[in-house]
């Protein structure tokens, strides 16, 4: 048996802001909040160790600098890519330039703190 990704951890200047944004993007809920202000989000019916990884936003005072070396890719589950792009922009995502040519089949976006993520073209079934 191999390992499995159970959680992703992102440093955040404002864990509340990022947890609200990513809950809206992924349909997640807040699972836990600790005394330091770190917040874990995940599927309401799965939580930690379930089939989808949770995301932990660790409070930091250090701003993001440069492009992330690891980013999240998302796919729509119930609409086409154009409609999902419109939804993501409406909830606070913004276009990001990481050197793409414009011919890609995906859109590069940034969350409210500038963390890059990609909206891929293919629609996938919900988990």
Question: Residue 48: phi, psi to the nearest 5?
Answer: -60, 135
pLDDT band at 84 (very low <50, low <70, confident <90, very high): very high
- Report pLDDT digits (tens) over 98-111: 999 999 999 999 99
> Nearest to residue 90, comparing CAs of 99, 79, 104?
79
pLDDT at 41 over 80: yes
Would you state the pLDDT for residue 49?
83
Q: Mean pLDDT lowest for which of 3-12, 21-30, 34-43, 45-54?
A: 45-54
3-state secondary structure of 49: coil
Would you state the pLDDT for residue 13?
97
Measured distance CA(46)–CA(96) in Å, rounded: 31
N-terminal to C-terminal alpha carbon distance within the chain:
22
Measured distance CA(84)–CA(41) in Å, rounded: 21
């Amino acid at each position: 048996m191999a390992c499995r990704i159970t959680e992703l951890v992102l440093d955040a200047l404002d864990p509340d802001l990022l947890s609200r944004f990513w809950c809206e993007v992924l349909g997640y809920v807040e699972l836990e909040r600790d005394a330091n202000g770190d917040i874990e989000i995940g599927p309401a019916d799965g939580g930690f160790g379930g089939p989808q990884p949770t995301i932990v936003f660790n409070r930091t005072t250090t701003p993001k600098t440069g492009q992330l070396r690891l980013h999240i890719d998302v796919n729509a589950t119930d609409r086409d890519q154009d409609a999902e792009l419109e939804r993501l922009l409406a909830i606070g995502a913004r276009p990001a330039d990481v050197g793409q040519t414009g011919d890609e089949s995906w859109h590069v976006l940034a969350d409210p703190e500038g963390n890059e993520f990609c909206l891929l073209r293919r629609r996938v079934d919900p988990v």
